[in-house]
Amino acid sequence: MAPDRKARVSVVTGGALGIGGAISRRLAASGDLVILNDIDPEAAERTAAEITASGGQAVTVIGDVVEDSTIARITEAAREAGRIDVLVNNVGDFRPAAKSFQDSTSDQWQRLYELNLLHVFKLTHALLPTMIEQGYGSIVNNSTVEAFRGIPQHPVYAAFNAGVSAFTRSLAVATGRHGVRVNAIAPDLANTEQTPVEWMRRGYDEGLEHTWVPLARFGEPDDYAAVVAFLASEDARFITGHTIPVDGGTLAASGWFVRADDQGWTNRPHRA
Ligand SMILES: NC(=O)c1ccc[n+]([C@@H]2O[C@H](COP(=O)([O-])OP(=O)(O)OC[C@H]3O[C@@H](n4cnc5c(N)ncnc54)[C@H](O)[C@@H]3O)[C@@H](O)[C@H]2O)c1
């Protein structure tokens, strides 16, 4: 049974900055008690204070979500809150990155595994039994378009995020009968602390966004939070097992770019 909206308890990992910060604020604005986990204590307290100042509710759990002790403290915070309705496994990072796969090390692969996939297993494993017991829950994972499209410099990051999407699909099939839905988003080109617009442009001419993003702009954290809020909500009650691209159309274009001289589209290297 769907919970009383006022009583919804939502966990957001990496919930202080970037996409996670927007998700925390968005869920709190619609009445959820947000259990906000983040590794950055100052940023977490700042976001929690903003939520409280706007009349919302947030409690922080500071720590690396990869660590078992952090998982235990998030689980304890959910127990104290009395239920757990929404779990947003948002943490993920393409760093530590190497110049190429040949240059990467097994230590880097291990950290990419921990940051992109292992914590998703750990926290889901910790909170799922409560959701099943309640007969209600919505899990939303944060994958990436690179789970579906090649990214030459980050094959290991792409592999673990493809794992997030595969985990999403299979777990959804297993938990649907218990009232637990599992979905994911696949962002591209988000203007966040991890990938600020200036860094993505790297001096690329302004005004040419339409040549690489069909919707002709980069994404802002709220663009992704809106889709997470939808997937977590009762409006998405018949959707499970899917990864929804939130990418301004880049996957649909998939290698096709508007020519810099605006004379149509090309899938070949193109100079103005
Ligand atoms: N930025 C993009 O364009 C983009 C594209 C595709 C996918 N994604 C995915 O979206 C998610 C969020 O990305 P973002 O750009 O908002 O990231 P970000 O680095 O801007 O913000 C991440 C947040 O998580 C926190 N955090 C980082 N490591 C943590 C850890 N180990 N434990 C707890 N908290 C931790 C950070 O302090 C920060 O508040 C990630 O899973 C990322 O892979 C982002």
Q: 152-189: per-residue pLDDT in tens? A: 889 999 999 999 999 999 999 999 999 999 999 999 99
Tell me the CB-side half-sphere exposure of residue 237, using CA atoms within 13 A.
7
Q: Answer for the pair 88, 233: CB distance below 8 angstroms, yes or no.
A: no
Kindly report whether the peptide bond that precedes residue 187 is cis, defined as omega within 30 degrees of 0.
no
pLDDT higher than threshold 60 for residue 201: yes
Helix and strand counts by DSSP (H, E) for the chain:
9, 9
Higher pLDDT, 115 or 257: 115
Instruction: Using the mean position of ligand 1's atoms as its centre, give its distance from the Cα of residue 43 in Å.
Output: 13
Q: Answer for the pair 41, 47: CB distance below 8 angstroms, yes or no.
A: no
Instruction: Using the mean position of ligand 1's atoms as its centre, give its distance from the Cα of residue 1 in Å.
Output: 32
Higher pLDDT, 266 or 190: 190
Q: Read off the tokens for 124.
A: 């889901």
Question: What CATH code is assigned to 5-200+218-254?
Answer: 3.40.50.720
Quickly count: other Cβ atoms within 10 Å of residue 7's Cβ. 13
How many Å apart are CA 259 and CA 256, to the nearest integer? 9
Residue 209, SS3 per DSSP: helix
**How large is the angle between the packed helices 41-53 and 18-29, nearest 10 degrees?**
30
Q: Answer for the pair 160, 104: CB distance below 8 angstroms, yes or no.
A: no
pLDDT higher than threshold 90 for residue 268: no
Higher pLDDT, 261 or 116: 116
Instruction: Using the mean position of ligand 1's atoms as its centre, give its distance from the Cα of residue 25 in Å.
Output: 15
DSSP 133: H
Q: Answer for the pair 126, 75: CB distance below 8 angstroms, yes or no.
A: yes
Q: Read off the tokens for 104.
A: 């990467």
| Residue 141 burial (10 A CB sphere; 0-12, 13-18, 19+) | buried
| pTM given for the model | 0.96
Ligand 1, atom 22: closest residue by C-alpha: 14
What is the C-alpha R_g of the chain?
A: 19
What digits encode the pLDDT tens for the residues 75-107?
Answer: 999 999 999 999 999 999 999 889 899 999 999
pLDDT for position 260 = 81
Residue 239, SS3 per DSSP: coil
Query: Ligand 1: residues within 6 Å at CB?
Result: 13-14, 16-20, 37-40, 43, 64-66, 90-93, 115, 142, 144, 187-190, 192-195
Domain ranges (residues) in the chain: 5-200+218-254
How many Å apart are CA 7 and CA 23, to the nearest integer? 18
Q: Answer for the pair 33, 10: CB distance below 8 angstroms, yes or no.
A: yes
Q: Answer for the pair 176, 240: CB distance below 8 angstroms, yes or no.
A: yes
pLDDT for position 7 = 67
Tell me the CB-side half-sphere exposure of residue 30, using CA atoms within 13 A.
19
